[in-house]
């Protein structure tokens, strides 16, 4: 038995998220269907982050077990030949049997892109949230500081999750402006369902001056989803990288 780790990137625009769903195109289904002709066995994959419909990845980490003996250097080109062009395998490694893409992960880093302009180029439409209203990144940055650390993030969890605990730890949160883009990086040990997008939606309300930065603290303490801002659309979100301890992935 071999434990194989993949690092992949994908444009999630045409998929209903990572996780398999009946009669719907997903990243997991597409990947497993492409693994079958290569390994000649039905393979179950595990991902570090179960990205939602329309969300992208540049550093998704996946692992699976197989009986087949295929060299790691052969898997990448062969698998990419079976996959559609909006999903690419970047790296392949054989890892220790105790490696688990989700459970072994220490931190996940997401990036959210906002295009803050009165005009949206069609070339960006699948990868940004177009916000035509003026945003103040300094206010957004000030509000983001209240989210750093270990907190109960129930106010930022959307319905549809069965998690037993809503405690999470945000290691870093940065907001900066690059020309017409406002870029938000969020690094956490793990994320609740739509947590990143709900935080971004709230930051945008603060950037529009519909709320003040101190309200972020009050929202967090309220543990009430109704207090937070709207859910940011999925296309601006991208899983950038996953960090591990003894299991190096880069």
Active site residue 52: yes
Burial class (CB in 10 A: 0-12, 13-18, 19+), 68: middle
The residues with which 175 forms a beta bridge, in sequence order, are 184
Q: Give the list of residues 6+ apart from residue 140 with CB closer than 8 angstroms, or none.
A: 175, 182, 184, 203, 204, 206, 207
CA gap 32, 35 in Å, rounded: 5
Estimate the share of the chain in helix, then strand, then coil, as percent rounded to the nearest 5: 30, 30, 40
Given a contact cutoff of 8 angstroms between Cβ atoms, the answer to whether 89 and 99 are in contact is no
Pair type for strands 87-95 and 129-130: unpaired
Given 11, 33, 52, 96, the catalytic residue: 52
> SS3 of 248, please?
coil
Give the count of beta carbons closer than 10 Å to the beta carbon of residue 97. Answer: 10
DSSP assignment of 129-191 equals EE--S---HHHHHHHHGGG-EEEE-GGGPPSS---S--EEEEEEEEEEEETTEEEEEEEES--
DSSP state of 44: -
Give the count of beta carbons closer than 10 Å to the beta carbon of residue 205. Answer: 19
Active site residues: 52
């Amino acid at each position: 038995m071999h434990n194989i780790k993949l690092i992949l990137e994908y444009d999630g625009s045409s998929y209903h998220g990572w996780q398999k769903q009946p009669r719907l195109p997903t990243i997991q289904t597409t990947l497993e269907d492409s693994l079958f002709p290569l390994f000649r066995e039905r393979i179950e994959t595990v991902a570090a982050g179960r990205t939602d419909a329309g969300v992208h990845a540049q550093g998704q980490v996946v692992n699976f077990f197989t009986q087949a003996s295929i060299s790691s250097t052969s898997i990448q080109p062969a698998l990419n030949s079976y996959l559609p062009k909006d999903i690419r395998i970047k790296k392949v490694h054989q890892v220790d049997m105790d490696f688990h893409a989700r459970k072994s992960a220490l931190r996940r880093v997401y990036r959210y892109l906002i295009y803050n302009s009165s005009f949206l180029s069609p070339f960006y439409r699948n990868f940004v949230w177009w916000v035509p209203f003026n945003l103040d990144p300094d206010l957004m940055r000030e509000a983001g500081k209240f989210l750093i650390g270990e907190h109960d993030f129930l106010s930022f969890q959307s319905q549809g999750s069965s998690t037993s605990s809503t405690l999470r730890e945000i290691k870093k949160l940065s907001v900066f402006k690059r020309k017409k883009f406002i870029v938000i990086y969020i690094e956490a040990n793990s994320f609740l369902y739509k947590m990143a997008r709900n935080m971004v939606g709230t930051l945008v309300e603060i950037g529009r001056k519909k709320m003040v930065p101190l309200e972020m603290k009050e929202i967090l303490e309220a543990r009430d989803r109704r207090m937070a801002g709207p859910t940011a659309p999925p296309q601006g979100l991208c899983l950038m990288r996953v960090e591990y301890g003894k299991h190096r992935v880069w």
